[in-house]
Amino acid sequence: MTTLRRAAALVALLLLGSIPAARSDDAKFKGAVLDQQALGSLSGEYAMKMTLLEMEPGAAIPEHTHKGPGMRYVLEGAIAIAWKNGKTEIFKAGSTYFEAPGSSHPMGQMSARNVADGKTRVLIFEILPKQ
């Protein structure tokens, strides 16, 4: 079992373990997959990291690279992401997006910008090489 699969299995067990047992006819909860991405093969040791990004109106994040793959979930507001293929996408509260390892953004440009009138908050899940 690869390190990534072990990490995914551990996360799944932790999440399932936090749901109280209930008969199927009286369950008062539901789960839904919001996003899913194939990661391919990862070698070495990895750690999972979760970060809350908060951006004030008009705030921008400069060009950068990603050390590992990660999913993002927009909790509040809206964020515009500039991709290296020249396209820009806007993700609003309740939406998800994926950023691959390496350089995902165009050189010399802001990679992300808060385009909401208020604060934007994004929950970032990353799988990073252990250091």
The pLDDT tens digits along the chain (131 residues) read 455 555 555 455 445 555 555 555 567 888 999 888 888 787 888 999 999 999 999 999 988 888 889 999 999 999 999 988 889 999 999 999 999 888 777 777 789 999 999 999 999 999 998 87
What's the confidence (pLDDT) of residue 64? Answer: 84
What's the confidence (pLDDT) of residue 13? Answer: 47
Assess contact for 41 and 127: CB atoms under 8 A: no
Residue 62 identity? P
CATH number, domain 42-129:
2.60.120.10
What's the confidence (pLDDT) of residue 8? Answer: 55
What's the confidence (pLDDT) of residue 25? Answer: 59
CA dist list (Å): 60 to 24, 97, 129: 46, 17, 26
Of 59, 41, 51, nearest to 114 by C-alpha is 59
Assessment of whether the complete model's pTM goes beyond 0.75: no
State the alpha helices, DSSP H only, in the chain: 3-17
What's the confidence (pLDDT) of residue 101? Answer: 85
